[in-house]
Structures are given as structure tokens and as C-alpha cells.
Amino acid sequence: MAVMTFRQALHDTLRDEMHRDENVVLMGEEIGVFEGSYKITAGLLPEFGERRVRDTPIAEEGFTGAAIGAAMLGLRPVVEIMTINFSLLALDQIVNHAAKIYGMFGGQARVPLVIRTPGGGGQQLGATHSQNIELYYAFVPGMKVVAPSTPADAKALLLAAIRDDDPVLFLENLALYNTKGDVPDGDTPAEIGRAAITRRGSDLTLIGYSRTAFVANQVAQELAETEGLDIEVVDLRSLRPLDRATIVESVKRTSCAVVLEDDWLTYGIGAEVAATISDGAFDYLDAPVRRVAMAEVPLPYSKVLETAALPSHEDVINAVYQTLDAVGRRRPAARR
């Protein structure tokens, strides 16, 4: 067990997998000589050479298409798209080709491709560089979409993604790169499609993924210390496939739920989670499912406006209070 940053966990996992399997190759803009915009690939070019660490032109559709072809022929490409916003330029290759080939070829060809890409706001990168559009890919059958929130899951889910025979979108939130946590030794992959209950509780279920799962655990800890509340936290980890069973079973235990997301509320991931709860745990609910999401605006560049648009700790706490107050479940200390 070692303590490391989210960034270091990704770097070390890529390096270890490249040593383990010579078919693992990296592709992306500035990942070689410049060592990547976020330094995830630092030092890998001199260690593995240009054949396995490929700097590409600024042409997302072109190098993503090349990676799909390479995957069909036996390699395991890990493509870094500098930001998920730029993946829109490769949308045709990802949605119409990578996600469809296995089905359209009757199972005769696989696409063991990983697309690593960061997203999220809070970095003052403007509206076109700060989006959370993972929903575009989670919507598509044939794709797998994972979103780790801790260094340990960054390692375990990246191992799983690289070794999977299907295309996987691996979502990284920029705000998580410098967060630290324990990372187990060994190379045990996570199970794609399995959520994690990162904190047990009985008063309410908080559900999030990526950065919002990180926030959910912080809020649950704070409310335990200041209000005596017993909050359960579900980290989705995987958006497709979605672990509906874990969501439903948690809400059946607590009878209340708040869903957190960094994307827009309308048609968001939270809508699917809320529908899942309604389908599987409606009779157990003591209050309506509440959702916390960002404002329905292109994210402003101004730091003050950007912060106001993103879901905050206070927004989550208020949603928890409103839900528990509706059913009379807050502790007396919370009313002082």
C-alpha cells in the first residue's frame, strides 16, 4: 500500500501495463516529448520509445480512427484526448465505429481501446473547455464509461479498461489530479459496472461519481462530525454499465437519496439514477429524490461566476437538510 496522487496512480498504471503487455501503446497530442498536458505520461517516451508512445497531430478524428484500426488488428491503444471537449471532434469515430464494430461484424472483431480524457470545470478554462459531456458516451450501447474518484480506483479501473476487449471511455476530472489516497500494491483490476459503497449509513444515500463522489464523502464526514448524521455514500464508478442494483439496495436501506453530478441537470446522469431509484425503490422512499447539478449555462470564465455555477459543498448540504427535514429525520443538534 502506498499513498500517491491520482495523477501518479494513472502514470504508474500505464507504465506497469506497458511492461506487462507489449501490445499496449499510447497515442495522443503532446504525450511524448512534452510528456502530456497533465504530465500523466511523463518519462514514458524515453523508456518505451516512439513505436509505443506516439505523438499525434492535432486531429482527434484521425488519431482516434487510427487507434480503432490498430485495436482491431491486435494492439491495445490507450488514447489521450487532451480534454473531453475535444472528443466531440472524434464523435463519429467513437460512436459510429468503436462502439458499433463488435455488433456489426457479428463478434468477429473487437476494439480493445481506451480513451483517457479529463473534464470538469473550476479551472477557469472557459465554456468550451470545462464541460462534463460523459453522458454523450454513457448513452451509447457498445461503449463502457468509467469515472474513478480516488487514486485507488484510478489504478484499478485503468487496469480493467486496458484489459477489456471493448472500447472504454476513461473519465478523469481535472480537480482530482492532485488528490491523494492509499493505492494497493499488485495489479487487481476493478469490475467495470460495479459501484462502491464508500461509506455506510442509515439516514440518507448520497450518490455521485468522479469529483462529486469525492465531494459526497467530504460532506458525509462533515455532517457526521457536526450534525451527528449517518450518511451512506455510493460512488457509481461506472456510468455504462450502471450498477442499478447497488443504487436500489442502498436507497432501500436509507429511504432517502440525493444525487450529485457536475453536468447540467436537464437530461443528466442524475436523471437516469433518479429513474432507477423510482423503478426499484419507489415504495421505500420517504421523500422525493433530490438532485444537485451545475447551473444550466455555458460555464463562465470569471472565477466568481464559475464557482457560483458549479455545485458546491453548501448546495449538497442544503439538499441533504431539505430531504431529511421533509421526513423529520434530522438530529436535534442540527436545529440549534
pLDDT tens digits, residue range 219-265? 999 999 999 999 999 999 999 999 999 999 999 999 999 999 999 99
Lowest model confidence (mean pLDDT) among 50-59, 96-105, 320-329 = 320-329
pLDDT at 24 over 50: yes
Q: What is the pLDDT of residue 39?
A: 96
Which amino acid type is present at position 246? Answer: T
The question of whether 314 is a catalytic residue gets the answer no
Burial degree of 313 (CB within 10 A; 0-12, 13-18, 19+): exposed
Q: pLDDT-based confidence at 141, cuts 50/70/90?
A: very high
pLDDT at 104 over 60: yes
Q: pLDDT-based confidence at 329, cuts 50/70/90?
A: confident
pLDDT digits (tens, 9 = 90+) for 167-222: 999 999 999 999 999 999 999 999 999 999 999 999 999 999 999 999 999 999 99
If you average pLDDT over every residue of the chain, what do you get?
96
Q: pLDDT-based confidence at 165, cuts 50/70/90?
A: very high
Q: What is the pLDDT of residue 327?
A: 86
Q: What is the pLDDT of residue 328?
A: 81
- Out of 17, 29, 60, 227, which one is annotated catalytic? 60
- Out of 17, 29, 80, 129, which one is annotated catalytic? 129
pLDDT digits (tens, 9 = 90+) for 281-299: 999 999 999 999 999 999 9
Q: What is the pLDDT of residue 313?
A: 93
227 backbone dihedrals φ, ψ, rounded to 5°:
-125, -10
pLDDT at 97 over 70: yes
pLDDT at 336 over 50: no
pLDDT at 83 over 80: yes
- For 23, the 3-state DSSP assignment is coil
Burial degree of 3 (CB within 10 A; 0-12, 13-18, 19+): exposed
Q: What percentage of the chain carries pLDDT values higher than 70?
A: 98
What's the pTM? 0.95
**C-alpha to C-alpha distances, 94 to 74, 87, 168, 208, nearest whole angstrom:** 18, 9, 10, 25
Q: What is the pLDDT of residue 321?
A: 96
pLDDT digits (tens, 9 = 90+) for 26-80: 999 999 999 999 999 999 999 999 999 999 999 999 999 999 999 999 999 999 9
The question of whether 30 is a catalytic residue gets the answer no
Q: What is the pLDDT of residue 335?
A: 43
Backbone conformation region of residue 2, classed left if phi is above 0, alpha if psi is from -120 to 50, else beta: beta
For each of the domains in the chain, give its residue range(s) and CATH number, in order of start. 2-183 (3.40.50.970), 196-335 (3.40.50.920)
Q: What crossing angle do the helices spanning 211-227 and 313-326 adopt, rounded to 10°?
A: 60
